[in-house]
Structure 1
Amino acid sequence: MGHNSTGGRVIVVGTRQSALALTQTGHVIDALKQLCQHHGFSHTFEIRKIVTKGDRILDVTLSKVGGKGLFVKEIEQALLDGEIDLAVHSMKDMPSELPDGLLNGAVPKREDPRDCLITRNGGGIEDLPRGASVGTSSLRRASQLKAYRPDLEIRSIRGNIDSRIRKLETEGLDAIVLATAGLKRMGWEERISSPVGVDICIPAVGQGALGIECREGDAEVRALLALLNDSDTEQTVAAERTFLAALNGGCQIPIGAYAVITDRDTNGLTFMLTGMVGSPDGSTILKEIRSGRDPQQLGLEVAQALRDQGADRILADIGG
């Protein structure tokens, strides 16, 4: 374990190499530095870039690559091996079960969870011409957009944010769908033509939130990360992740969930969770909205309600 000249610890932060991953990691390190200053810690931070399987396989649709944790496995191994001390992930990339010995040390405050459109003509989804081609590698987005506009032609595109934006031109697409949060974190908000409302497209589980993973036994890092945790975000994301785990949803299923806090009183918080499962072609979209005080319980209830509506049949058809 390295120490710096002031006797503090050198905390090694693992990250993917994409511009977005590095930007997100940079934001988190800046926040941790401020916390260190404020609380009198003398830790310093060092970034280590790690290539993941998801970064190496760029010519295949995500849903075909299969396997959860495409963008985290190598990073988790580096944590377990002690090569890095913490890792910043997009929460939606994190598998619902973490390996023994690792835990989520912090869920910072969530960014805008919605999807958004970048279109050629600058309009929203209603303004796309009939039969417009829309690029996305997400079955969840494709399913819901097709349900809303069956005339759209969905085309599969992969790659990081900037390469996907370039494909709008190079592949002659009318629009692409991306997560609003990523564009905002990159400072590219002005490129967004219009947000896609959650009434049209339920976000991915944990979209817009980050998860900061560390070793269970690393008390020093855990104490620091606890200061960065946003309890509201942690609990709403927990409702969504419990829902996902209960339906055993991987990349291969159009599945989404979005939780919000609707009330606060002396007894605690009230959460509202919307869960969605759809068929890939958008011909069937099942949705359930429930409220409750216990995020995990709520996640289980919404998952069960969707099973009662027939979600199992959709999952079985897709092989989920």
Structure 2
Amino acid sequence: MARTFKIGSRKSELALVQSRWVQSELQKLHPDCSFELVTMETQGDIILDVALAKIGDKGLFTKELEVGMLQHQTDFAVHSLKDLPTHLPEGLMLGGITARENPADALVLHAKHAGASIDALPEGSVVGTSSLRRLAQLRHHYPQLSFKDIRGNLNTRLRKLDEGQYDAIILAVAGLERLGMGDRISQKLPAEVSLHAVGQGALGIECRAGDEEVLAVLQSLVDADSTRRCLAERAFLRQLEGGCQVPIGVNSEVIADAAGDRLQLTGMVASLDGQQLIRDRAIGSAEDPEAVGIQLAHLLREQGATEILQAIFATLDREAVH
């Protein structure tokens, strides 16, 4: 039956590009239906003068969109999957994960450093990032560099870089490429340097639990390989009880095997100063990706991940109070 579906989206340029892509793809796949965008501002879009980790991450970029679904103002919402908490509000579910773009982190340099890699930046160079995950890993590998928080949408961050407030900034490859700014990427950071965020590069579509009509429509956009990888990553994060704003990084790969597809998941937990960094990997059946994520979380807990994370949460709580 023909129906109009309302899609919730943040108002940022990247969010709109992502949501319009979903809208366009669904319109092609379901020409008898209509798909309308409903835009909203989230707390993360409004508070731009405070570091993300100090605000807290309980639905920082998702809460308003979730309220819209629960109040039937919208039927589903498009998120960058890395922004979607692993514990969703009662009544909502992850309805689909799209084909993943490159999940790596990108080094974007000021013009005066053109052609350089992160290894070649002079001592004391100022690198901008709002991510504790990126910060902890880069502090671990490059203690000679200086790091400074940076907020704002992608264009604002690039402007601050070009004005000379930073020597380099770290962004997601996928975001730059989706906005047609892939030429700004100076280096795609290897996994040995920076494991990416859980779900980075994929879109997660959230909807009301049990809405079979919506779920049937969304199924046409689901990518099986990306889904297995991201479910393993999210299970790993959930098991560690980490949020979007803590130094937890991953890398996942589905490996074809004669006995069946295998899923390899690499993960790390690091202290805020980068002094402690625990890293390991787990391999298991791609048909049970969440078991692989849980297994890896247990491996890191045995090596001290719980103590590192507890210290981070205590620090962030103190900073939030002040």
Identify whether the pair has TM-score above 0.5, normalized to the shorter chain: yes
- TM-superposed deviation, 1:170: 3.1
2:52 paired residue number? 62
Q: Could you tell me whether the CA contact under 8 Å between 1:252 and 1:318 is conserved in 2?
A: no
Structure 1 residue 47 corresponds to structure 2 residue 41: no
- The size of the alignment, in residue pairs, is 309
* 2:128 paired with 1:138: no
Shift of 1:296: 0.9
Q: Name the structure 2 match of 1:283.
A: 275
Q: What SS does the corresponding residue of 1:319 show, helix, strand or coil?
A: helix
Q: Match for 1:33: what amino acid? A: Q
Contact 2:138–2:274 under 8 Å retained in 1: yes
* 1:27 partner amino acid: W
Q: Measure how far apart 1:91 and its partner are.
A: 0.4
In the alignment, which residue of structure 1 is the partner of 2:153? 160
**3-state SS of 2:261 partner:** strand
- Give the CA deviation at 1:216: 2.0
Q: Return the offset for 1:172.
A: 2.3
Of 241-250 and 122-131, more deviation after overlay is shown by: 122-131
Q: Does 1:212 align with 2:202?
A: no
Is the Cα contact below 8 Å between 2:23 and 2:36 reproduced in 1?
Answer: no
Q: Deviations over 1:158-184 (max 9, x none)?
A: 111110111113352110000000011
Match of 1:196 in 2: 189
Structure 2 distance, partners of 1:250, 1:165, is 26
1:117 aligns with 2:117: no
2:312 is matched with which residue?
318
- For residue 73 of structure 1, the aligned residue among 57, 63, 79 is 63
CA contact (8 A) 2:278 2:300 kept: yes
Matched-pair contact (CA < 8 Å) for 2:282–2:292: yes
Partner of residue 19, structure 1: 13
Question: CA separation in 2, counterparts of 1:171 and 1:63?
Answer: 25
1:34 aligned onto 2:24: no
> What's 1:91 paired with?
81
Superposition deviation, residue 17 in structure 1: 0.4
Contact 1:91–1:210 under 8 Å retained in 2 = yes
The Cα shift of 1:101 comes to: 1.8
C-alpha separation between the residues in 2 aligned to 1:33 and 1:127?
47
In structure 1, what is the equivalent of residue 290 of structure 2?
A: 296
What does residue 121 of structure 2 align with? 128
TM-score, with length taken from structure 2: 0.93
Contact 1:86-1:214 within 8 A present in 2 as well: yes
Q: CA-atom RMSD, angstroms? A: 1.3
Q: CA deviation at 1:252?
A: 4.2
TM-score when scaled to structure 1?
0.94
Question: What code does the residue aligned with 1:285 have?
Answer: L
Give the Å deviation of 1:130. Answer: 1.4
Aligned counterpart, 1:3: none
Structure 1 stretches of at least 4 aligned residues deviating more than 6 Å after TM superposition: none
- Which one is further off, 205-214 or 267-276? 267-276
Which deviates further from its counterpart, 232-241 or 119-128? 119-128
**Which ranges in structure 1 are unaligned for 5 or more consecutive residues?**
1-6
Whole-angstrom CA distance in 2 between matches of 1:319 and 1:170: 34
Maintained 8 Å contact 1:114/1:181: yes
Give the drift of 1:315: 1.0
Q: Choose the corresponding residue for 1:305, options 275, 296, 299.
A: 299
Q: Which runs of 5+ in 2 are unaligned?
A: 315-322
